[in-house]
Amino acid sequence: MFKIKKNSLNKLYAAIAEAQTLYIPCNVNGKPNFAVWGEGADVDLASLKTVKSAKEVFFPQCEDIVSFKTKGKEITVIDCRKESEDFVVFGVRACDAKSFEILDKVFLSDPVDTFYKTKREHGTVITLACSRPEESCFCSAFGIDCAEPSGDVATYFSGEYLYWSPKTEKGLNLTNSLKNLLEIANDKDNLALENEQKNIREITKKLPLYGLDLSKWGADDLLEKFNSEKWQELSSACLGCGACTFVCPTCQCYDVRDFDKGNGVQRYRCWDSCMYNDFTMMAHGTPRPTQMQRFRQRFMHKLVYFPSNNGGEFSCVGCGRCVEKCPINMNIVKVIKAFGGEGK
Amino acid sequence: MMNDMLIPVVGVVTDIRRDTPDVKTFRVVGLDGKKCFEHMPGQCAMLSIPGVSEAMFSITSSPTNTEYMEFSIKKCGCLTDWLHSIDVGQQVTVRGPYGNGFPVEEDLKGKNLIFIAGGIGLAPLRSVINYVRANRSNYGKVTIVYGSRSMDDLVDFEEIKNEWANEKDFNVHLTIDRPQEGWDGHVGFVPAYVKELNLNAADTVLLCGPPIMIKFTLAALIELGFNKTQVFTTMELRMKCGIGKCGRCNIGDKYVCKDGPVFRCDQLDEMPAEY
């Protein structure tokens, strides 16, 4: 375990950014989001949740796939992938860190998505334990301990210090490169940190969504849940705006589109939402013509279909972003509860 | 750099055949004059015209054809309108193959096979039919029931008439929806025709067509004593990636592009009816 004074953090950012790109929550246009650090950046590690999740560093909202040149009847395919460079993402909360494991199951399963894989290989994840979990948080329902996040390096704020604990070889390498900025933590520090973590876990237990029970969910009773009449009422106010999918750290649906640049065609992929009516639209119609069906698809996928394909694991980490952002105040918690998953 | 399934190769359209007023069959080879890749019957490929769109099509040629791949495409949207306007020599992009295909080397081997198709639904089955012809001794008797709106809408009519109908132990039954001058064959919808045909309920069925035709034909087959475990069908949903990641063709815990497009009809009962 290492530590660094809070007021020296800018030196730490600068040292990391000297060798590789550093993504860190910054206030950009008044909102906290992961952004590339540079001198004078308005770093914001105090806000608990960035608006968009950290998945963006591995699965960008918009990403070029391949370019084409066309001339008459001829087409040339141009591989526009750039050589990947190492980068660090700092300040990832425990829930977002867990979402990477869920996205891994999608993008790293055969056949592998090489765009995602390359970024995963080149990225070092520095997590940050939550100091003040908020009322929309329910990560504990998915077995996540927000006081002890995973990652290549886990960090924790306590008193005057940021504590720094490397957890993987990647994390150790980064730590070694920053040795002259990090002090070694002593027994007193360890004790203070343990107390801090204990306090955080106590706060977690007092949160309104603590104890959310997911035992009614999982791979079983797929058709019974699908055919339930509850979906109609749950979805009745849904606007289909898709905000929940865009802030979600585990939503991974994407669209592939072509952009005619005038001197060539750029094929790119971008986040999409199963909440949209054209998501499944084909020439002869769509299999999900109603918002109820689209709403049901999103939650069935997270709570039933994904677990069915991934050993019972849910495609939700309880970050609570959708709980905060939904304009009609509907969310996954209400869906979980509607099927008997009452909080304790 | 690693190959990525999302990055296509270039193919050239070397032949375009007009099958019906709204269906054309496109022959595609790679720039080196060879097939772009190998596939199994029932598998699909992503075709695109850069700047227009990319979409999934079933490969209608048999893998035993060593020279080229063929796609029978109905004019019904943005990309297909474009494809119907191109001339021989036009290049397209191709990637694949995707999906599981029909179990030609497993469940279908040694069986009497009944192919039932409606309209453009013949496209994926044609690949299997020609595969069976090329490996004739591995399969039993073949019955083909194929229906379309009119005589002019029968896809691959020349091949059916001149080749399939003359194959040993092949029985071909054609039908059209309404009477038409110059047609002396059967008139009526496929599901009703299936009931008239004295099919052997011990045989294995491969079924493809519009959803409504599949629904009623399956009901007719059940009535004749067939079990859903004997009936294979192939599905079509919107797809973007082809590798089970973009989420578009997700039904229940299945992805049609990866776990399908071929499903046994009893498997469909375990999936949400959202297709």
For the stretch A107-119, pLDDT in tens is 999 999 999 999 9
Residue A82: pLDDT band (50, 70, 90) is confident
Q: How far apart are CA B81 and CA B73, in angstroms?
A: 10
A274·B247 Cβ contact <8 A: yes
Q: How far apart are CA B40 and CA B44, in angstroms?
A: 9
Q: In this complex, is the C-beta atom of A203 within 8 Å of any C-beta atom belonging to chain B?
A: no
Contacts with A262 (C-beta within 8 Å, 6 or more apart), sequence order: none
- Per-residue pLDDT tens listing for chain B (275 residues): 667 889 999 999 999 999 999 999 999 999 999 999 999 999 999 999 999 999 999 999 999 999 999 999 999 999 999 999 999 999 999 999 999 999 999 999 999 999 999 999 999 999 999 999 999 999 999 999 999 999 999 998 999 999 999 999 999 999 999 999 999 999 999 999 999 998 999 999 999 999 899 999 999 999 999 999 999 999 989 999 999 999 999 999 999 999 999 999 999 999 998 88
A301·B91 Cβ contact <8 A: no
- Point out the residue among A106, A219, A282 whose CB comes nearest to the CB of B238: A282
Residue A327: pLDDT band (50, 70, 90) is very high
Residues A303 and A286: beta-carbon distance below 8 Å:
no
To the nearest 10°, the Cα dihedral for A263, A269, A275, A281? 60
pLDDT value at A83 more than 80: yes
Distance from CA of B49 to the nearest CA of A (A): 9
| CA B8 from centroid of its chain's CA atoms | 22
Mean pLDDT, rounded, for A182-207: 94
Residues B75 and B23: beta-carbon distance below 8 Å:
yes
pLDDT at res. A342:
53
Structure tokens at A259: 């952009």
Which residues 282-321 on chain A approach chain B with CB closer than 8 angstroms? Answer: 282-284, 286-288, 293, 297, 300-301, 304-305, 308-309
B7·A297 Cβ contact <8 A: no
pLDDT value at A343 more than 50: no
B6·A65 Cβ contact <8 A: yes
| CA B160 from centroid of its chain's CA atoms | 15
* E strand residue ranges, chain A: 2-5, 21-28, 31-36, 62-71, 74-78, 87-92, 123-128, 153-158, 161-166, 183-184, 254-260, 265-271
Contacts with A305 (C-beta within 8 Å, 6 or more apart), sequence order: A222, B250, B252, B253
Minimal-distance CA residue of chain B relative to A284: B76
Residues B56 and B94: beta-carbon distance below 8 Å:
no
- ipTM for the predicted complex comes to 0.91
Residue among B65, B3, B67 at smallest CA distance from B32:
B67
B245·A254 Cβ contact <8 A: yes
pLDDT at res. A341:
56
Task: Look over chain A and give the mean of its residue pLDDT values, rounded to a whole number.
Answer: 95
Q: How far apart are CA A244 and CA A240, in angstroms?
A: 9
Domains and CATH numbers, chain B: 9-98 (2.40.30.10), 113-234 (3.40.50.80)
* A243-246 contact pairs (CB < 8 A, 24+): A243/A322, A243/A325, A243/A326, A243/A327, A244/A275, A244/A298, A244/A322, A244/A325, A244/A326, A244/A331, A244/A332, A245/A271, A245/A272, A245/A273, A245/A274, A245/A275, A245/A298, A246/A52, A246/A61, A246/A271, A246/A273
Structure tokens at B236: 């079509």
- Judging contacts by C-beta atoms under 8 Å, the chain B residues touching residue A74 are 91
What DSSP designation does A282 have? B
pLDDT at res. B4:
85
pLDDT at res. A283:
87
Angle at A254 between CA A251 and CA A256, to 5 degrees: 175
Residues B62 and B127: beta-carbon distance below 8 Å:
yes
- Judging contacts by C-beta atoms under 8 Å, the chain A residues touching residue B79 are none
DSSP β-bridge partners for residue B98: B44
Residue among A142, A70, A135, A64 at smallest CA distance from A101:
A142
Neighbours of B157 (CB within 10 A): 17
Q: How far apart are CA B73 and CA B56, in angstroms?
A: 10
pLDDT value at A301 more than 60: yes
Mean pLDDT, rounded, for A277-294: 93
pTM above 0.95, yes or no: no
Residues A122 and A85: beta-carbon distance below 8 Å:
yes
